[in-house]
Amino acid sequence: MHSALKTYFGFSEFKGLQEAVIKSILAKESTFVIMPTGGGKSLCYQLPALMQEGTAIVVSPLIALMKNQVDAIRGVSDEHGVAHVLNSSLNKTEVKQVKQDITNGITKLLYVAPESLTKEENVEFLRSVKISFMAVDEAHCISEWGHDFRPEYRNLKQIIERIGDNIPIIGLTATATPKVQEDILKNLGMSNARTFKASFNRPNLYYEIRPKTKNVDADIIRFVKQNEGKTGIIYCLSRKRVEELAQVLQVNGVKALPYHAGLDAKTRVKHQDMFLMEDIDVVVATIAFGMGIDKPDVRFVIHHDIPKSIESYYQETGRAGRDGGEGHCLAFYSYKDIEKLEKFMSGKPVAEQEIGQALLQEVVAFAETSISRRKFILHYFGEEFDNETGEGGDLDDNMRYPKKQHEAQDNVKL
Ligand code: ADP
Ligand code: MG
């Protein structure tokens, strides 16, 4: 296994639970992997796929993500056909080539979107070839409690059963809430799976919540000025707020640019690159910014508006301090913003609203808590944390300034 790791990926050590996970997959066990973003989940199925006979089917929700992975895998092998994507964008000749490579045992990884997997002709074909295992990446898409529910994911189990008997299933996700995990195991019919869960603790992040007043912009400017020269992301709920705040920062001499889905693609790429190249210090953005952006030395993440779930908060703050260095996570909270988020949901189906409400209530509890924020987050993810002994246990406002926090809460409740 170590030599395969070195040969294919050039790494000399496994990261975290990777080795144990891969052993489980090689033993043909159904396996459930829960690791935070950046934990190295892809390698958990890529390596055993490369080491085994047959083709591993990888279900993934995003075509862009699949393409990246296929390119990366092709880069580690002499054989172009070692990894393929099967989707509706391929023409007849390309589909034929893919099928030929699979039949000839060349293709070790076949990436498919769930909607392509449901196609009768694909099911028929896959029934006729040797499948090593089936990996369901971003498995939280199965659950309505996850942040990215996709109904097509619900049919996967049925399709897998049609493709073959006893195909081992590997589910992978960065969503650690017990409800989502339960849904995944139930839907994929793998309640007996071996589960590998990495810790979600980010010991170098400092969590702070401040009451949001009408002076929030001034508060943000002061914070950014105090952290001059450091790189940060400021998240706002609306595009309008993003534009306004970016401008206010610029006027105050901060090198900042906006980023949101309303900007044309060229501008978005330009602003993102300028952030990555450190031509600017701060990007003010909606949640459209961040997916797949790997800048290790982001020193602060500010939430101008509180996110709609703890999950989102964790993902977004998680972009700070990837290098293990300082990462200050500052969120501004006002109950009014919660009401705003509730209003946004009011047009949605009732079931969705109920879930949204429940997620929001957790955010309120988190913002208003006086216990260790880290303990709260980790508890939410089903993880016990002792902030007396645990790593980073003292790194939040409630632990550092217990009294001040109570005053802040009183302000907010008024
Ligand atoms: P996830 O899917 O869990 O978010 P990825 O699979 O995208 O994470 O991996 C994140 C990063 O970690 C990638 O850049 C990958 O190359 C790197 N990585 C994975 N495994 C190892 C390892 N054993 N040693 C060093 N880097 C690794
Ligand atoms: Mg991944």
Q: Which H or E run contains 205? A: strand 205-211
Tell me, what's the pLDDT at 162? Answer: 94
What is the chain's length? 414
Substitution candidate for ligand 1 out of 2, 22, 42 with most atoms within 8 A of CB: 42
- Is the confidence at residue 246, as pLDDT, over 60? yes
Tell me, what's the pLDDT at 146? Answer: 82
Half-sphere exposure of 322 (CA within 13 A, CB side): 18
- In whole angstroms, how far apart are CA 263 and each of 184, 194, 269, 332, 369? 36, 44, 10, 25, 37
Tell me, what's the pLDDT at 96? Answer: 95
Residue 252 φ/ψ, nearest 5 degrees: -90, 15
* Residues, CB within 5 angstroms of ligand 2 (ion): 41
**Cα(311) to centroid of ligand 2, in Å?**
16
Higher pLDDT residue, 403 or 138?
Answer: 138
Q: Please, what is the angle between helix 350-368 and helix 373-380, to 10°?
A: 150
Tell me, what's the pLDDT at 414? Answer: 42
Q: What percent of the chain has pLDDT over 90?
A: 84
What ipTM describes this predicted complex? 0.99
Closest residue to atom 15 of ligand 1, CA basis: 40
**Cα(21) to centroid of ligand 1, in Å?**
14
Q: pLDDT-based confidence at 72, cuts 50/70/90?
A: confident
Mapped onto helix, strand or coil, the DSSP state of residue 363 is helix
Tell me, what's the pLDDT at 293? Answer: 79
Q: pLDDT-based confidence at 69, cuts 50/70/90?
A: confident
Substitution candidate for ligand 1 out of 7, 13, 43 with most atoms within 8 A of CB: 43
Q: pLDDT-based confidence at 77, cuts 50/70/90?
A: confident
| Closest ligand, as measured to the CA of 40 | 1
Tell me, what's the pLDDT at 409? Answer: 55
* Mean pLDDT of the residues in the chain: 93
| Closest ligand, as measured to the CA of 292 | 1
- Is the confidence at residue 369, as pLDDT, over 50? yes
| Closest ligand, as measured to the CA of 17 | 1
**Cα(65) to centroid of ligand 2, in Å?**
8
Give the Cα separation of 330 and 308 in Å (integer).
16
Segment 145-178, tens digit of pLDDT: 887 889 899 999 999 999 999 999 999 999 989 9
- DSSP3 helix / strand / coil % (the chain, rounded to 5): 45, 15, 40
Give the Cα separation of 242 and 245 in Å (integer).
5
Closest residue to atom 12 of ligand 1, CA basis: 40
- Is the confidence at residue 407, as pLDDT, over 60? no
Burial tier of 95 (Cβ tally within 10 Å: 0-12, 13-18, 19+): middle
Give the Cα separation of 38 and 75 in Å (integer).
20
- Is the confidence at residue 404, as pLDDT, over 80? no
**Cα(42) to centroid of ligand 1, in Å?**
7
Transcribe 61-125 into DSSP letters.
Answer: S-HHHHHHHHHHHHHT-S-GGGEEEESTT--HHHHHHHHHHHHTT--SEEEE-HHHHT-HHHHHH
Residue that has been written with the tokens 């085994």 in this structure: 52
Segment 288-318, tens digit of pLDDT: 998 777 799 999 999 999 999 999 999 999 9
Strands of the sheet containing 300-303, edge to edge, are: 205-211, 327-333, 300-303, 232-235, 282-285, 256-259
Mapped onto helix, strand or coil, the DSSP state of residue 18 is helix
Question: For the stretch 18-57, what's the b/e string if a residue is b when 16 or more beta carbons lie within 10 angstroms of its beta carbon?
Answer: bbebbebbbeebbbbbbbbbebbbbbbbbbbbbbbebbbb
Give the Cα separation of 337 and 364 in Å (integer).
10
**Of 116-120, 125-129, 272-276, which gets the smallest average pLDDT?**
116-120
- Six-digit token string for 300: 């602060």
Q: pLDDT-based confidence at 413, cuts 50/70/90?
A: very low
| Closest ligand, as measured to the CA of 43 | 1
Residue (of 108, 112, 159) closest to 130 by Cα position: 108
**Ligand 1 pocket, Cβ-based, cut-off 6 angstroms:** 11, 13-15, 18, 35, 37-43
Closest residue to atom 20 of ligand 1, CA basis: 40
**Cα(38) to centroid of ligand 1, in Å?**
6
Residue (of 145, 143, 379, 363) closest to 237 by Cα position: 363
Any idea what DSSP says for residue 410? H
Contacts of 249 (CB under 8 A, 6+ apart): 220, 221, 224, 256, 282, 284
Tell me, what's the pLDDT at 408? Answer: 53
- In whole angstroms, how far apart are CA 3 and each of 83, 274, 370? 20, 39, 49
Tell me, what's the pLDDT at 80? Answer: 87
**Cα(82) to centroid of ligand 2, in Å?**
19
Segment 310-360, tens digit of pLDDT: 999 999 999 999 999 999 999 999 999 999 999 999 989 999 999 999 999
Segment 139-151, tens digit of pLDDT: 999 998 887 889 8
Contacts of 312 (CB under 8 A, 6+ apart): 147, 287
pTM, whole model, 2 decimals?
Answer: 0.87
